Structure 1
Amino acid sequence: MTDRGERETCRLQPARGPKAGIVSSSPVKVRVPKAAELVANHLREQIINSLIPEGESLPQEAEMIEQYNVSRPTLREAFRILESEGLITISRGSRGARVHLPKVEVVSRHLGVLLQARGVKLDDVYRARALVEPPAARLVAERKNTADIEQLNAIIEKERGSLEDDGRFSLASNEFHRTLVKIAEVETLCLIVDMLNEMLERHLLSLYMSGAHHKDRVTARRKSVKAQQKLVTLLEAGQGAEAETFWRQHLEAVGAAIAKFERIDQDIDIARF
């Protein structure tokens, strides 16, 4: 692998032949990846495909420099790329870089940065969740799987036992939303909901730390648990359309209830996440 510290471009000659007319006659600039990006790409693929197990340390710098035929600065730049993606953590000493599988918290934070840069409001995130989860509820109802219902009921019991505990209730509530979409068996949808819930959970926890409106929050949680139980009843009965409509209305009401504690028409603030 060539060790190049700068970005390069190359020029491609215009195509010749019968179909050459559909291609611009202007030279095309193609970006050649930096050596550090190529190293990061290779390591990322190994991590994602579990060729390097989670928790394992990468080889020593000297070994990797020889393996990839790059300089130390290039290798360290590759490490910084992977660290920014949450795929490794770098510590001083003999342990070096330790491998991690991708986590939704990292993706959620990047999404938060992007949304904040675009001036997106918190209520937009609540509306997004209200659009995404209800169709999943319909799918779950159509499946009519007893094990699915048992999972959701078990989580509801966790919530009932933690109404007074901000942290425990938030975790259990997030688990309910995540599980509802997970058992719909649409993995992409599950990841989207995970990101949205991660952002909303962090926002709510920062609100709870203020200690304000504690009594009102407990009342709201009881209503939320009651709504979840009604949803589960609809799911168990296989009433997909009713479950979808009911859950959409509930999530919209949740956004309105949160607005009583704090304005959610403000910009997303990634510093709170």
Structure 2
Amino acid sequence: MIDAHIHLDWYRKEERETILKDLKDKRIAGLIAISSDLASCKKVLSLSQKNKLVFPALGWHPEQSLPDEKELAELEELIRKHHHSIVAIGEVGLPYYLKKERPTLDINPYIHILERFINLAKEYHLPIVLHAVYEDADIVCDLLEKHGHNKAHFHWFKGSGDTMKRMIKNQYRISVTPDCVYEKEIQRIIDIYPLEFTMVETDGPWQFHGPFENKRTHPVMMAESIKQIATIKKVSLPEVERKILENTKEFYQILLRGSSYLR
């Protein structure tokens, strides 16, 4: 399994070390380590340099106050400098939950920032990892189509059937979290979305309910997600395991070779 979306730098040091030690024994072939701001980008790069199964993605998470131009410029420069050694730009997107808390929030500056990242992803032929749920997903689809970049991964996607039809037509990828074991909404999405465009993730250290209540989020939890996908899709578990691993390696251009990788 490859965790298609984990905030590795958000874990406490001892938790992170446990996860990294567990990779081999728990059949975890890699972690797509997502960034949330400039400091996070630098930490994720450092973690990837120490462990070749940590695949870095650089970006700026939208569920926070706007960065100043200096931080954005430095972050963009970091992406340009390291574009050969990162696997994606992300996590980027629109502030859906922040907007729920602050209904008068002007999202136009967030849209402008997202367009900058889309253009960078297009320039360097990199996937883009998106925080875009419900109606925000439609805005992001508009932007991706406008700029002609379709290598898009909507992580922990939630949205309407019509939005999914549009995303499937454009061959955008989604990933599902362990909440698919107990959330009917996510089970509905799994049922609709093609297996060939699906990956699994933890979004760790985000914590889950159901059988994962009060447990530290660990990539091993993805095994339960894969079982749920196999049940919903009525496909054998080994085939779903194989296909999801293949999907993730192909999308992120990862060739696994022991403890090293080539893009």
TM-score by length of structure 1 reads: 0.24
Q: Which has the larger radius of gyration?
A: 1
TM-score by length of structure 2 reads: 0.24
Greater share of strand: 2
